Amino acid sequence: MTDEWDPSIAEHKSMAHQIEVGNGIPEMRPMRMARAAMEAVGFEIEHEEDLAARGDAIPWYYPLEGDPRKAQTLWDCVTVLRVSWTGRLVNRSVIRCLEWLGIAPRGTFAVSQKLEDAVAALVAGGQAKVCMCMCLCMSDTESELQLFTPMYLMVSRKV
């Protein structure tokens, strides 16, 4: 979560919870806590940047919005169609039917609904600039270079 995320705001807390449940994350924390943790173990942050906040014309969450106007390639059209209202309706219907026929195990539809909720929360969090689910943290230790998820750049060195 970005530093603008405030757990005392019910909407922010709800977004975080839906993302956590849908993605199997135990607890999402704001970047200020990540910075504090890195400094607590002796790293000095030399550079950090939220690459999603660079002001691109099309935001990072556009494939999840279901807005065909933002599709840039033919594959984007397919991706956007899957999460559009029509795509979700078809997906729900097929999953419900497969579950009813016994082809898909019981609970598949409930899981797909949780995933849809997570997608909606990611989009809402991205639009509100409180969710930064893609982040790259680079830290150099004497033994190895460790890389994490892309889109947030943090370069540090051990003091």
Residue 78 lies in a domain: yes
**Whole-structure pTM value:** 0.72
What local confidence, expressed as pLDDT, does residue 137 receive? 65
Residue 3 lies in a domain: no
Domain containing residue 26: 10-158
**Residue 2 and residue 93: Cα distance in Å, rounded?**
36
Residue 113 lies in a domain: yes
What local confidence, expressed as pLDDT, does residue 150 receive? 42
Q: What is the pLDDT along the chain (159 residues), one digit of tens a residue?
A: 777 787 788 888 888 888 888 878 788 778 888 778 877 877 777 677 777 777 777 787 888 888 888 888 888 888 888 888 888 899 999 999 999 999 999 999 999 999 888 888 888 888 888 877 666 666 655 544 454 444 444 555 554
Residue 141 lies in a domain: yes
In total, how many domains does the chain have?
Answer: 1
Collect all residues with Cβ–Cβ distance below 8 Å to 89 and sequence separation of at least 6. Answer: none
Angle, CA of 109, 114 and 116, to the nearest 5°: 90
Residue 67 lies in a domain: yes
